[in-house]
Structure 1
Amino acid sequence: MHFDWLSLGSLIFAAHVIGVIAAGHAILNTRTSQGAIAWAVSLVAVPYVTVIPYLFLGRSKFSGYVDKRRIESELLRTRAHPNAWDTHASSMGRPAEALGHAVVRALTGLSGMPFLPGNHVRTLVNGDATFAAILDAIEQARHYVLVQFFIVRDDALGDKLKTLLLKKAAQGVRICFLYDSIGSFDLPQRYVSALLEGGVEIHPFATNRRFVNRFQLNFRNHRKIVVVDGERAFVGGHNVGVEYLGANPRLSPWRDTHIEMRGPIVASVQFVFIEDWHWATQRLPRLEPSQAEQPESVEDVDMHCLVVAPGPADKEETGSLFFVEAINAAQTRIWITTPYLIPDEAVFSALRLAVMRGVDVRILIPSRRDHYVVFEASKLFAYDLIRAGVRIFRYRPGFLHQKVVLIDEVAAAIGSANLDNRSFRLNFEIMVLTIDHAFALEVEAMLERDFGEAWEVTRHEYRNASALRRIVMHVARLFSPIL
């Protein structure tokens, strides 16, 4: 058989033409210069292996989406948020005393929501405690339950949640259930159909409304939110799957943290859900006005809380700037736990400056991997941070998935955001920042136990690696703008 070299040459030429066109698109549309360079070089050099991934991952913003989502959010903030919100008042009082007026103004400006006093927050350490509390709260629901997760699996835990939601729906409780269409890609239709037939309003969160966005895999909704009757709210790192209970032997025991909130801050968490629900369904959830009002303050509690909910439609790089401002606010210590260590240049610089100020900067990361490329890239970032004076620790017992920030002796933030570009710019996330000495001590004790089960990384992790492994680390880091 005669091989058709002309046809092969034509295909190669066409691939490179498409690669050049895609590279031009990447330069015009990617939000960071590093990401634009990474995509452009790879699309021109090896279009055969990068054009298809670019269709799915490369477009960190696309026509119409950002503006439409932003307009919707601004309209909702004028129509649906509690009347008591006043971001200017947040720059006074205890938050300002703890963090400084300038920091509080910056954080409330980023969030668009105020610090609210009179809350109670408790940590839920690991999956058993988290889902016991969530399921118990849903069991006690009288009016409505709002549920949102990035990953929902049809396994033992998913079935338990489904059964309980169907039970409450049969009792007349209104259930709104939102799941991410990509994070829950393997959720079978029978699971969704059973909930719909039982009276549960369940919808996927998707960004591919238009055909041009059909292949979009960015802009995932990574938030984990449960709100019950406007009185109790839960956020954190857990998704709905038995692996979060430690059922995956390769990653077990799974280390994660959620929080339960009571008080006025519940209204802020609920509003974040309402924004996402409206985007997914083009409807507001039908909540009775009396039930949607801001909850009363918890008696004898002076905890101030702020919800920061970064998303790719924000006017600013909210996720990255939140971490930068939190690091800059630290005077004595900044402890961070994250499963993925892929900081951008702004966060990296803030960490280095904190070390120069004499701040105790520690970052706790996993010793086991769930994503190979991210894990290899994080080794190189860890090496660079260690050289800058940051102390890096690897959690030994199992996979570490919690997202916690501890600032000095008075502030702590817990939620869904990782220390990586996806959480900074590409995902919808939620973090709750608390100002309370007693709660900061509780978080400190929790993290000290975690650090006690970790080993400190030294420069030798990188220096003792083989030449091939070092090459793998450097190649992996080239993909950091999209990791």
Structure 2
Amino acid sequence: MNIQEEWELHKPKKKTWGRLLRVVFGRTAFVITALLIQFIILMYSFQWLREHVFYLYGGFVGLSAVVVIYIINKNQNPSYQLSWIIPVLVFPVFGALFYLFLETQPGTRAIDRRLKDIIEETKPLLKQQPEVMERLYRESRGTARLAYYMNEYGGYPIWENTSAQYFPLGDDMYPVLLEELKKAERYIFMEYFIVEKGEMWDNILEILKEKAASGVEVRFMYDGMCSLTLMPYGYPKQLEKYGIRCKMFSPVRPVLSSYQNNRDHRKITVIDGHTAFTGGVNLADEYINRKVRFGHWKDTAIMLKGDAATGFLMMFLQMWNITEHEADDYARYLCRPDYQYPAELDRSGFAMPYGDSPLDNETVGQHVYMDILNESRYYVHIMTPYLILDSDMITSLTFAAKRGIETIIIMPHIPDKIYAYLLARSYYAELLQAGVKIYEYMPGFVHAKVFTSDNTKAVVGSINMDYRSLHLHFECAVYLFRNPAVQQAEADFQETLKHCREITLEDCKTYPIPKKIAGKVLRLFAPLM
């Protein structure tokens, strides 16, 4: 049975009225209604001031000018600056006050301060081993310079003695994850953007419950957006009853606040300090094609065994401890020195796990992608579900193609968000004219976030090529250099390409005009997507 037939066989059934009623009358509706009420009150308050108080309005015009000057001089992505300057100038009262309202929110500042403190606490355990850097420098000065930047400004070193197993589908990763969870002896730490009840989560949860009952320390953290439609708001308390320490990151509350814009989009599992998983796969059935959404779900993941697992261990503990009042004993979770890795593992090459925070003004995820594009000599192959680009990323992609680098992007043919797809299509012609090749995965939806280059480099992680991943979310990935998994990722790219259709400039010309207009209009709001 091919992918297309499997998709037809498992087409989703109609949603039940019960689920619809739970959404309409549940917490989701309450939160959305409360936020809308607050937003409308703010809007009408500002409008009333504009219409009825002439002198105050003049003052607000002056305030808008000050705000624009402040935005222009702020150390920020130019696209973000433009996305705020337009509403501030068009709506002098509402735009300026709303910007100041969001800019002065205490939530993000508190998280930023706490995270910086924790990073300082964990820094001694993430020191770059000089002998590793020396060997890397001898093999590739360019990669060594990237590793230096990542350690100095991202806080994560590059490691040797690490094997990597690449999974072309969530379906492939899932049984391996279950087996590794069953082997846990000391602890299991898991951090995910999405968790939803179903076959995948139910089976994982059974293992976590058994392990917690046997004395294994289990911690589970998921993003607070899940509380809107996927999980009950009090679900962490339910897991606590099983002996599983659980928390939501940034629970969604019915209050207008900018901190709710920074979500935990990471996917991390760490087991006993020696094994770690990451990639695009969340804990829900569509990610392993047990439930069909948007056709066949093409996703990827990777398992690390070795020294580099320490990077993901510290990433998890840093995020977990943001809301903790007592310091963790970070060192006790390191892999025990007497642990014996299987002899058959190929631990050659280098691996560099890294995280990206939206609060530190250091766009680590984007810089890694751009470094691959700028340093490539032969090819850069990309899989991404979204293509919402700023001027820097457009320049890197087009310049790579213009200097003769084979630059190919695989996108979904069946999108999960129509507005994101329309926006992505607005970039197609510009990229194609520069020589970038774009393919769409015909059987369904690509959720993978993978870069491969020159048979030597690869990135697998949670970082999409859109503003939210590159600038607004907490993200993670692993950079591989001359590790055997690089060839595994490239082989998967070539196999995926067989199920794709190439997009041409003629396709762009014949694309429906209303959709073209919609995509260009959506560019005004691209930094928010």
Identify the TM-score tier after normalising by the shorter chain: 0.7 to 0.9
1:32 aligns with 2:81: no
- For the residue of structure 1 that corresponds to 2:444, the secondary structure is coil
| Matching of residues 190-339 of structure 1 within 5 Å | 191-206=235-250, 214=257, 216-285=259-328, 289=332, 291-292=334-335, 301-339=347-385
Pair 44,163 (structure 1): closer, same or farther in 2 beyond 3 Å: farther
Picking from 86, 106, 120, the partner of 2:128 is 86
Whichever residue aligns with residue 405 of structure 2, its letter is V
1:20-419, aligned counterparts within 5 Å? 28=70, 31-42=76-87, 45=90, 64-65=109-110, 67-78=112-123, 81=125, 85-86=127-128, 88-94=130-136, 97-98=139-140, 100=142, 101-186=144-229, 187-189=231-233, 191-206=235-250, 214=257, 216-285=259-328, 289=332, 291-292=334-335, 301-419=347-465
CA contact (8 A) 1:264 1:297 kept: no
Aligned residue for 2:218, secondary structure, equals: strand
| Letter aligned with residue 453 of structure 1 | H
Pair 291,107 (structure 1): closer, same or farther in 2 beyond 3 Å: closer
CA distance in 1, matches of 2:442, 2:471: 30
8 Å CA contact 1:231–1:262 kept in 2: the answer is yes
Residues 311-349 of structure 1 show CA distances to partners (whole Å, capped at 9, x for unaligned) of: 112352212212111211211111111101112221211
Partner deviation per Cα, 1:248-290 (whole Å, 9 max, x = no partner): 4341311000101100001111011111011133445567727
User: Which residue type is aligned with residue 434 of structure 2?
Assistant: A
**Matches of 1:57 and 1:135 in 2, distance apart?**
42
- Distance change (3 Å), C-alpha of 1:86 and 1:269: same
Give the number of aligned pairs.
472
Cα displacement (A) at 1:388: 1.3
Per-residue deviation, 1:26: 8.1
Give the C-alpha shift of residue 148 in structure 1: 0.5
Following TM superposition, by how much is the alpha carbon of 1:480 offset from its aligned partner in structure 2, in angstroms?
1.2
Instruction: Tell me the CA shift for residue 357 of structure 1.
Output: 2.5
Contact 1:121 1:261 in 2 (8 A): yes
Secondary structure in 1 aligned to 2:409?
strand
- Matched residue SS, 1:185: helix
Q: 2:502 aligns with which of 432, 442, 456?
A: 456
TM-score by length of 2: 0.80
Q: Is 1:246–1:252's contact at 8 Å kept on the other side of the alignment?
A: no
Q: Which moved more, 1:273-282 or 1:255-264?
A: 273-282
Change (3 A) 1:230 1:188: same
Instruction: Tell me, yes or no, if structure 1 residue 480 matches structure 2 residue 480.
Output: no
Structure 1 pair 104–215 and aligned structure 2 pair: CA distance change class (3 A)? closer
CA contact (8 A) 1:87 1:108 kept: no
Q: CA 1:183 to 1:42, structure 2 compared with 1: closer, same or farther past 3 Å?
A: farther
- In the TM superposition, residue 197 of structure 1 has moved relative to its aligned partner by 0.8
Give structure 2 stretches of 5+ with no counterpart. 1-42, 52-56
| SS of structure 1 residue aligned to 2:259 | coil
Q: Which runs of 5+ in 1 are unaligned?
A: 1-7
Residue 447 in structure 1 maps to residue 493 in structure 2: yes
Name which of structure 1's ranges 11-20 and 256-265 shifts more when overlaid on structure 2: 11-20
Cα distance in structure 1, aligned partners of 2:190 and 2:321? 14
C-alpha distance in 2 between matches for 1:471 and 1:56? 32
Aligned-partner SS, 2:423: helix
What is the DSSP-based 3-state SS (H/G/I as helix, E as strand, rest coil) of the residue aligned with 1:306? strand
1:234/1:348 CA distance change after superposition, 3 Å: same
- Which moves more between the two structures, 168-177 or 154-163? 154-163
Q: How many Å separate the matches in 2 of 1:60 and 1:392?
A: 40
What TM-score, normalized by structure 1, do the two folds share? Answer: 0.87
Which stretch of the first structure deviates more once superposed, 149-158 or 440-449?
149-158
Q: Percent identity?
A: 25
SS of residue in 1 equivalent to 2:497: helix
Q: CA deviation at 1:126?
A: 1.7
CA RMSD of aligned residues (A): 3.5
Structure 1 pair 51–172 and aligned structure 2 pair: CA distance change class (3 A): farther
Look up the equivalent residue of 1:383 and give its one-letter code: A
Q: CA deviation at 1:423?
A: 1.4
Q: SS state of the match for residue 130, structure 1?
A: helix
**1:434 aligns to what SS in structure 2?**
strand
1:122 positional shift: 0.4
Aligned partner of 1:194: which letter?
Answer: Q
Deviations 1:404-446 (A, max 9, x none): 1102111111010011111111111111011125322211111
Q: Secondary structure at the match of 1:117?
A: coil
Which one has a larger percent helix, Structure 1 or Structure 2? 2
Offset of 1:128 from its aligned partner? Answer: 2.2
Aligned twin of 1:431: 477
